[in-house]
Amino acid sequence: MTGLWIPEVYRDREESLRLLRTYFTRRRERGDLWYSGAHFERLDGGGDRAGVADRFTADDLVAVTMLSVQVKPHGAVDLLTDPEGHWHRLLSAIPRGARLEDPASDALVAPGGPAWELWERLADPAKTYPAKPDGGGPVVAGKLLARKRPHLVPVYDERIKALFRRPRTDRTFWADLAAALRADGGAFRADLAEVRAEAGIGEEIGVLRVLDVIGWMHQGERERAAGAH
């Protein structure tokens, strides 16, 4: 038993497959992919590839726009130039291969850990740090971290919060998701990996992103259906 309620859509293999394939393969009439977010983790080889993993790049800032958020110009300069050295310091403290389901990663995402501090410096919901980059915030912070460490930090926005029935102020989603991925011998994580393989979207798409896409697409369809009535 974990603190994370798992929505029923994740137990519906056919529906999960449909949502994943739609997101990653649907194309516009001109031939390019319908959902710009399908490029999020793949742009320029990914934000966690060797050589760029420990600093923010222009490609990272472009990538988050594909998930419908953006950093303001002055904030972008801050992230790219890292004038106080916080971004490199904290990213360097988070191994590229760190995975949320690995208990060894708990210290990285726990309060006081480098991923937690990085999120707080980017999001600053409690004004803990005085120099949050312009245009930052919880959702932007989460998507930047998901770009840099896609196997450790999940994309988390209002749709996912609503679908998973999370509290308004949610400081435990990472820990609760980690517990869910480990429960029952990793059964939930294995299910996500299996549906990824069956959908044929590529193993470079991490299981955290599989979880996000299924949930984001499903909740979006629910909201549109509710709005149509």
What confidence tens digit (pLDDT) does each residue in 34-87 have? 999 999 999 999 999 999 999 999 999 999 999 999 999 999 999 999 999 999
Report yes or no: 54 and 88 within 8 Å, Cβ to Cβ.
Answer: yes
| β-sheet bridge partners, residue 27 | 33
- In a domain, residue 2? The reply is no
- In a domain, residue 50? The reply is yes
State pTM to two decimals: 0.94
- In a domain, residue 97? The reply is yes
What is the structure's pLDDT at 130?
Answer: 76
Backbone torsions φ then ψ of 127, nearest 5 degrees: 55, 40
Q: Rounded to 5 degrees, what angle do the CA atoms 61, 169, 96 make? A: 40
Residue 142 in tokens: 């989460």
Please report how the helices 58-65 and 138-148 are oriented relative to each other, as an axis angle in degrees rounded to 10: 120
- In a domain, residue 187? The reply is yes
Domain span at 64: 8-227
Alpha-carbon distance 205 to 136, whole Å?
25
pLDDT over threshold 70, residue 229 = no
CA distances, 72 to each of 5, 76, 226 (Å): 35, 6, 33
Question: What domain count does the chain have?
Answer: 1
pLDDT over threshold 80, residue 2 = no
- In a domain, residue 142? The reply is yes
Percent of the chain with pLDDT over 70: 97
Give the chain's length: 229
What is the structure's pLDDT at 152?
Answer: 98
What is the structure's pLDDT at 1?
Answer: 38
- In a domain, residue 51? The reply is yes
Q: Rounded to 5 degrees, what angle do the CA atoms 31, 60, 58 make? A: 100
- In a domain, residue 43? The reply is yes
- In a domain, residue 55? The reply is yes
